[in-house]
Structure 1
Amino acid sequence: MRPLDAQDPARIGDYRLLGRLGQGGMGRVFLARSDRGRTVAVKLVHPELAGEEEFRARFRREVRAAQRVGGEWTAPVLDADTEAGTPWVATGYIAGPSLQRVVGGGTPLPERSVRILAAGLARALGAIHAAGIIHRDLKPSNVLLTIDGPRVIDFGIARALEAVTGNGVTRTGDSVGSPGFMSPEQVRGEPLTPACDVFSLGSVLAYAATGRQPFGTADSIAHALMFRIAQEEPDLSALPDALRELVSGCLAKDPEQRPTPAELVAQAERGAAGGPGADDEPWLPGALIARLGRHAVELLEAEDPQDGENARGGDRAGAPSAVPSPAPEGPGGVHALPTAVSHTSAPGHTPATPPPRPVAPGPASHPPHTARADHGPAVPAPAPASRRRRGAGAARFAAFALVLAGVGAATVYAVLGGDGDGVRAEDAHGKDGRASGQSAANGGIPTDFLGTWETTLDGSAVNARRLTLIQGETGDTVLTMTATGASYRCAFAATLISAGPPVRLGPSTVVSGPDGCRPGESSTLEMVGGTLRRVSDDGKALSYHKTG
Structure 2
Amino acid sequence: MIGFVPMQPELPRTFGPYRVVARLGSGGMGEVFLATSPSRRLVAVKVIRSELLGDPRWRARFRHEVTSARSVSGFYTAPVVDADPDADQPWLATQYIRGVSLSGVVRDRGPLPEQAACRLGAGLAEALIAIHQAGIVHGDLKPSNVLLASDGPRVIDFGIARPLDALPLSRSEVLGTPAYMSPEQALGEPVTTQSDVFSLGATLVYTATGSAPFGTGHKVRGRIVHAAPDLSRLPDPMRGLVTRCLVKEPQERPSPEQVLTALTTLLDAHYGDEWPPTDVEELIGVQERTLVEMTAELPTVREVPEAAP
* Fold equivalence (TM over 0.5): yes
1:221 is aligned to: 217
- Is structure 2 residue 235 aligned with structure 1 residue 240? yes
For 2:118, the equivalent position in structure 1 comes to 115
2:98 & 2:136 partners in 1: Cα distance? 24
1:281-292 correspondence to structure 2 within 5 Å: 282-292=274-284
Is the 2:109–2:279 contact (alpha carbons within 8 Å) kept by the matching residues of 1? no
Q: Return closer, same or farther for 1:215/1:112 CA change in 2, 3 Å cut-off.
A: same
Task: Name the structure 1 match of 2:264.
Answer: 269
Give distance in 2, aligned partners of 1:10 and 1:71: 31
SS at match of 1:158: coil
Q: For 2:171 and 2:79, how far apart are their aligned partners in 1?
A: 28
- The superposition leaves residues 299-350 of structure 1 with CA deviations (integer Å, 9 ceiling, x where unpaired) of 234234549xx9xx9596xx34xxxxxxxxxxxxxxxxxxxxxxxxxxxxxx
Offset of 1:287 from its aligned partner? 3.3
Q: Does 1:150 align with 2:153?
A: yes
Question: Cα distance 1:5–1:71, how it changes in 2: closer, same or farther (>3 A)?
Answer: farther
Q: Deviations over 1:352-382 (max 9, x none)?
A: xxxxxxxxxxxxxxxxxxxxxxxxxxxxxxx
Which protein has greater RCO, CA pairs closer than 8 Å, 6+ apart? 2
Instruction: Name the CA shift for 1:100/1:24 in 2 (closer, same or farther; >3 Å).
Output: same
Corresponding residue for residue 520 of structure 1:
none
Pairwise mapping of residues 204-215 of structure 1 onto structure 2 (< 5 A)?
204-215=203-214
Q: Which residue of 1 aligns with 2:167?
A: none
3-state DSSP class of the match of 1:273?
helix
- Deviation readout 1:211-241 (Å, 9 max, x if unpaired): 111101xxx422x111100001101001111
Once the two structures are superposed, the pairs formed by residues 162-181 of structure 1 within 5 Å of their partners are 174-181=173-180
| Residue 104 of structure 1, aligned match among 85, 102, 107 | 107
Tell me how far apart the structure 2 counterparts of residues 269 and 282 of structure 1 sit (CA, whole Å): 12
How far apart are residue 35 of structure 1 and its match?
A: 1.0
Q: In structure 2, how many angstroms separate the alpha carbons of the residues matched to 1:31 and 1:135?
A: 23
Q: SS of the counterpart of 2:45?
A: strand
- Aligned counterpart for 1:296 among listed residues 288, 296, 299: 288
**1:355 — aligned with what?**
none
State the shift of 1:190 in Å.
1.0
CA distance in 1, matches of 2:306, 2:12: 6
1:284-363 aligned within 5 A: 284-303=276-295, 304-306=297-299, 319-320=308-309
Please say which structure displays the higher CA radius of gyration.
Answer: 1
For 1:83 and 1:204, locate their aligned partners in 2 and report how far apart those are by CA, in whole Å: 34
The count of residues paired between Structure 1 and Structure 2 equals 295
Question: What per-residue deviation string (whole Å, max 9, x for no partner) do you get for residues 268-323 of structure 1?
Answer: 0001139x9xx6x632332332222222232234234549xx9xx9596xx34xxx
How big is the alpha-carbon RMSD for the aligned residues of Structure 1 and Structure 2?
Answer: 2.3
* Matches for 1:42-191 after TM superposition, within 5 Å: 42-155=45-158, 157-159=159-161, 174-191=173-190
Question: Any gaps of 5 or more consecutive residues in structure 1?
Answer: 161-170, 321-548
Deviations 1:244-270 (A, max 9, x none): 011111101011111111111000000
- Cα distance between partner residues in 1 of 2:175 and 2:18: 29
Corresponding residue of 1:409: none
TM-score of the aligned structures, taking structure 2 as reference length: 0.89
| SS of aligned partner of 1:144 | strand
Q: Offset of 1:146 from its aligned partner?
A: 1.1
Q: Per the alignment, do residues 62 and 28 of structure 1 end up closer, same or farther by CA in structure 2, a change over 3 Å counting?
A: closer
User: Any conservation in 2 of the 1:69–1:131 contact (CA below 8 Å)?
Assistant: yes
Alignment-derived partner of residue 165 in structure 2:
none
Say whether the 8 Å CA contact 1:20–1:29 is kept in structure 2.
Answer: yes
The whole-number CA distance in structure 2 between the counterparts of 1:172 and 1:186 is 9
* C-alpha displacement of 1:173: 5.5
Deviation per residue, 1:106-139 (Å, 9 max, x gap)? 4211111111111100010111111112111111
Tell whether the 8 Å contact from 1:9 to 1:314 is kept in structure 2 after alignment: no
Cα contact 1:95–1:299 (8 A) shared by 2: no
TM-score normalized with structure 1 length: 0.51
- 2:34 match: secondary structure: strand
Contact 1:10 1:315 in 2 (8 A): no
Work out the CA distance in 1 between the residues paired with 2:134 and 2:243: 27
Deviations 1:403-436 (A, max 9, x none): xxxxxxxxxxxxxxxxxxxxxxxxxxxxxxxxxx
Structure richer in helix, relative to its length: 2
